[in-house]
């Protein structure tokens, strides 16, 4: 699988199918799996001996010498059940550890996979749907292990023991457990097949509902601003009804569970068979008690499997959805064997075409060159492709055709981490994390000292307003920086760029939300940090355009003019019109 980022490999995991995926995780926890199996067998064995002891006691009582023997039998039963409680504890504890470790490992794999996906992948994946897979679907795999597999293995031992014990009472008594086991396997196979289809729809509908919820909450300001709460409620209710309907469908399949009827038939058939053998003088009364006690053990697998197998069906459906994310190949890879080194800052586009979606081209045959250390301004109308150009430099996206070269080397041939670590982009829409201001500034430089953080903030003209907060640099800001003004968010983002000290700095209209007085101060800081490094400005600010070493004028995805400010004023009508608007 290609990926932009791989934190670690998972060589022991098989990602080829849901069943192999689950099995590969089970194999990684052999000790707990073994303890769970031993505990399950011990639990079933101790349950099986109770009716055998009771049958022997009844026979001795009938012979007239069973009072003392019955006392010994009672003590034996108490002892076996004390032992049973110990192995039951061992089984349940190991199965819970088993399930939690597998959930941890799967969640780790999925998170690493999501970080490794390209922006093309994330652009078309609703966040709520992804969150449903990371949280709910992974949790379903946990439930498949415990109580799912825990109950299935435990109940499987309850199916096995009568097969082993009944022939020791009388060989002919093996017939009823054998017929039950064969019929039980067929019933469960058909049951889980029917459940699996419905479980997939349950998981899918839950993901759709979660995606709608996340999207609505993300855009809550728009919802309230347009007074569309009632419409959103109706749409969400429709998705909730779909989830409900699929759960009801699952309940309908569980309600028609044939294993319960099979248990009744087995109890009746086993009792008639044992009575027949008793009348024939083949077995005693105590043997009937012991045998029927063995048949009664089937009650545990029958009544637990209606729940445990639905957990398995849901877990397999969840694993399939998880693999749907992990196995999606991205259009970028981290190219660990690629070129790495210090970037000098030369950038060249050669006949670049690009489209976000097939047949919707954004850039057309774009060619230009930026020399190392130059400051270049990109101007043009909204939607002309200015931001897209910069996204190709650090391989946020890859070109459809043509080349983007950094220091004469195709960006596809760079080691992705080396390339991106030396390019800093300040977006127009600033994203800040729900962490402290200091952590946001130091994002990407976790080793930065407090002095370095404060110096970067001063250079970005952010230090004074940060100190105005009661907790200063330790102030925790809301997601996306909602507790800050637009200008404050942008200054923190600029401080982050200053601290990273990139070889290539890209500012995407990064002073658009800053007042004129602050902009003058930041402008000086930008020129200071731009000295000696390649700087690309996407801007509508006249002061920034005028002093750029080079200006690229882009219109509808094409470079229609490039040169210095004075050259373009002389030779480009389109630039003169834009410049006139700047002056207005």
Is position 189 within any domain? Answer: yes
Tell me, yes or no, whether 212 and 355 share the same domain: no
Contact indicator for 459, 497 with CB cutoff of 8 Å: no
Residue 445 lies in a domain: no
- The residue ranking higher by pLDDT, 112 or 123, is 112
* Residue 580 to residues 23, 375, 565, 577, 583, Cα–Cα distance (Å): 68, 22, 13, 5, 5
Please state, rounded to an integer, the average pLDDT across all residues of the chain.
87
N-terminal to C-terminal alpha carbon distance within the chain? 53
Residue 183 pLDDT > 80? yes
Q: What is the domain-level CATH number for residue 271?
A: 1.20.1560.10
Average pLDDT over residues 559-580: 86
Question: How far apart are the C-alpha atoms of 201 and 103, rounded to whole Å?
Answer: 22
Would you state the pLDDT for residue 2? 64
β-strand pairing of 423-426 with 504-508: parallel
pLDDT at 459: 84
pTM equals 0.76
Q: Quick one: pLDDT at residue 258?
A: 83
Confidence check: pLDDT of 480 > 60 = no
What values do phi and psi take at 424, rounded to 5?
Answer: -120, 130
Coil, helix or strand at residue 555: strand
Q: How far is CA 400 from CA 334, 352, 354, 361, 482, in A?
A: 18, 7, 5, 9, 36
Query: Residue 403: left (phi > 0), alpha (psi -120 to 50), or beta?
Result: beta
Rounded Cα distance between 308 and 159, Å, is: 15
**Predicted pLDDT at 512:** 59
**Quick one: 358 and 306 in the same domain?**
no
Give domain status of residue 340, yes or no: no
Looking at residue 259, its pLDDT comes to 86
Final residue belonging to a domain, choices 297, 326, 355:
326
Same domain (yes/no): 27, 120: yes
Q: What pLDDT, in 10s, does the model give residues 229-266?
A: 888 889 889 999 999 999 899 888 888 888 888 999 99
Structural contact between residues 533 and 504, judged by C-beta atoms closer than 8 angstroms: yes
| CA proximity to 103, closest of 148, 69, 137, 56 | 137
Nearest to 130 by CA among 195, 196, 192, 218: 218
Structure tokens at 36: 């769970």
Domain-terminating residue out of 268, 291, 326: 326
| pLDDT bucket at 203, cuts 50 / 70 / 90 | confident
What is the pLDDT confidence band of residue 337, given thresholds at 50, 70 and 90?
confident
Task: Measure the CA angle with vertex 537, ends 119 and 372; round to 5°.
Answer: 95
Give domain status of residue 165, yes or no: yes
> Which of 296, 326, 356 finishes a domain?
326
- Residue 174 and residue 262 share a domain: yes
Q: For residue 482, what pLDDT is reported?
A: 62
Say yes or no: 99 and 216 in one domain.
yes
Q: What is the pLDDT of residue 135?
A: 86
Partners of 310 in the β-ladder: none
Could you tell me if residue 381 is inside a domain?
yes
Q: Of 199-213, 269-283, 315-329, give the range with the top mean pLDDT.
A: 269-283
Per-residue pLDDT at 522: 66
For 504, the enclosing helix (H) or strand (E) is strand 504-508
Same domain, 319 and 350: no
Task: Map residue 276 onto helix, strand or coil.
Answer: helix
- Do 218 and 358 share a structural domain? no
Task: Answer whether residue 227 is part of any domain.
Answer: yes
239 closest CA partner among 125, 124, 122, 128 = 128
Together in a domain, 306 and 418: no
HSE-up (13 A, CA, CB side) for residue 21 = 23
Backbone torsions φ then ψ of 539, nearest 5 degrees: -155, 160
Cis upstream peptide for 147 (omega within 30°)? yes
- 299 with 216, same domain: the answer is yes
Residues 493 and 510: beta-carbon distance below 8 Å: yes
Residues 262 and 359 both lie in one domain:
no
Q: Looking at per-residue confidence, does 385 or 517 come out higher?
A: 385
> What confidence score (pLDDT) does residue 424 get?
87
Tell me how far apart the alpha carbons of residues 317 and 197 are, in angstroms, rounded to a whole number: 8
Comparing 116-130, 138-152, 175-189, 561-575, the range with the smallest average pLDDT is 116-130
For helices 259-279 and 299-326, the axis angle rounded to 10 degrees is 150
Query: Which residues span the domain enclosing 152?
Result: 18-326
* pLDDT tens per residue across span 39-63: 999 999 999 999 999 888 888 877 7
Report d(CA 303, CA 260) in Å as an integer.
Answer: 7
Judge whether 195 lies within some domain: yes
> Would residue 25 count as lying in a domain?
yes
Secondary structure (3-state) at 213? helix
Q: What angle do CA 176, 182, 188 make, to 5 degrees?
A: 125
Q: Is the pLDDT of residue 65 over 70?
A: no
CATH of the domain at 376: 3.40.50.300
Total tally of structural domains belonging to the chain:
2
Predicted local confidence at residue 356, as pLDDT: 83
Tell me the mean pLDDT in the region 349-378: 90
Is the domain of 197 the same as that of 104?
A: yes
pLDDT at 227: 81
The values of phi and psi at residue 225, to 5°, are -65, -30
How sure is the predictor about 517, in pLDDT bands with cuts at 50, 70 and 90?
low
Closest to 176 (Cα-Cα) out of 304, 305, 43, 296: 296
Q: Do 244 and 390 have their domain in common? A: no
The string over 165-186, giving b where at least 16 C-beta atoms fall within 10 Å of a residue's C-beta and e elsewhere, is: bbeebbebbbebbeebbeebee
Q: For residue 57, what are the CA distances in angstroms to 65, 282, 290, 541?
A: 10, 19, 10, 98
Provide the pLDDT for residue 485: 79
Most distant CA atoms of the chain, gap in Å:
124
DSSP assignment letter at 347: E
* Residue showing tokens 């970037």: 343
Phi-psi region of 533 (alpha: psi -120 to 50; beta: other; left: phi over 0): beta
């Amino acid at each position: 699988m290609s990926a932009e980022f791989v934190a670690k490999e998972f060589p022991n995991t098989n990602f080829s199918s849901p069943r192999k995926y689950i099995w590969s995780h089970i194999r990684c926890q052999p000790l707990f799996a073994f303890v769970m199996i031993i505990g399950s067998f011990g639990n079933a064995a101790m349950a099986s001996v109770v009716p055998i002891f009771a049958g022997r006691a009844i026979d001795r009582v009938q012979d007239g010498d069973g009072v003392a023997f019955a006392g010994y039998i009672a003590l034996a039963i108490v002892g076996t059940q004390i032992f049973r409680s110990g192995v039951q504890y061992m089984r349940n504890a190991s199965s819970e550890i088993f399930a939690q470790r597998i959930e941890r490992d799967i969640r780790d794999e999925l998170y690493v996979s999501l970080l490794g996906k390209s922006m093309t992948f994330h652009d078309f994946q609703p966040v709520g749907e992804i969150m449903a897979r990371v949280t709910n679907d992974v949790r379903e795999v946990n439930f498949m292990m415990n109580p799912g597999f825990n109950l299935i293995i435990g109940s499987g031992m309850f199916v096995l023991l009568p097969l082993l014990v009944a022939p020791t009472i009388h060989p002919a008594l093996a017939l009823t457990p054998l017929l039950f086991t064969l019929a039980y396997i067929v019933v469960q196979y058909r049951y889980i097949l029917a459940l699996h289809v419905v479980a997939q729809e349950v998981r899918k509908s839950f993901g759709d509902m979660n995606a709608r919820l996340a999207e609505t909450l993300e855009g809550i300001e728009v919802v309230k601003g347009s007074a569309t709460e009632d419409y959103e409620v109706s749409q969400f209710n429709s998705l909730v009804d779909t989830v409900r309907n699929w759960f009801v469908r699952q309940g309908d399949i569980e309600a028609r569970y044939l294993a319960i009827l099979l248990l009744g038939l087995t109890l009746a058939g086993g009792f008639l068979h044992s009575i027949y053998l008793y009348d024939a003088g083949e077995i005693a009364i105590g043997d009937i008690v012991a045998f029927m006690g063995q048949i009664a053990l089937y009650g545990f697998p029958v009544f637990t499997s209606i729940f445990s197998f639905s957990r398995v069906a849901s877990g397999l459906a969840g694993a399939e959805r998880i693999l749907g994310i992990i196995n999606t190949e991205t259009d970028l890879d981290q190219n660990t064997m690629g070129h790495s080194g210090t970037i000098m800052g030369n950038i060249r586009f050669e006949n670049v075409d690009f489209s976000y979606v097939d047949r919707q081209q954004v850039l057309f045959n774009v060619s230009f060159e930026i020399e190392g250390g130059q400051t270049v301004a990109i101007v043009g109308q909204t939607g002309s492709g200015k931001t897209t150009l910069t996204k190709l430099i650090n391989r946020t996206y890859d070109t459809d055709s043509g080349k983007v070269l950094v220091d004469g080397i195709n960006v596809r041939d760079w080691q992705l981490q080396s390339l991106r670590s030396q390019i800093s982009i300040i977006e127009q829409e600033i994203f800040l994390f729900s962490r402290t201001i200091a952590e946001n500034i130091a994002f990407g430089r976790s080793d930065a000292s407090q002095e370095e953080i404060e110096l970067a903030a001063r250079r970005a003209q952010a230090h004074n307003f940060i100190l105005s907060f009661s907790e200063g640099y330790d102030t925790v800001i809301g997601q996306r920086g909602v507790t800050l003004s637009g200008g404050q968010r942008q200054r923190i983002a600029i401080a982050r760029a200053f601290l990273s000290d990139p070889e290539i700095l890209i500012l995407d209209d990064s002073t658009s939300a800053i007042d004129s007085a602050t902009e003058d101060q930041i402008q000086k800081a930008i020129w200071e940090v731009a000295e000696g490094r390649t700087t690309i400005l996407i801007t509508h600010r006249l002061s920034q355009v005028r002093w750029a070493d080079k200006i690229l004028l882009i219109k509808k995805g094409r470079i229609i003019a490039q040169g210095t400010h004075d050259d373009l004023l002389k030779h480009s009508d389109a630039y003169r019109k834009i410049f006139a608007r700047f002056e207005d």
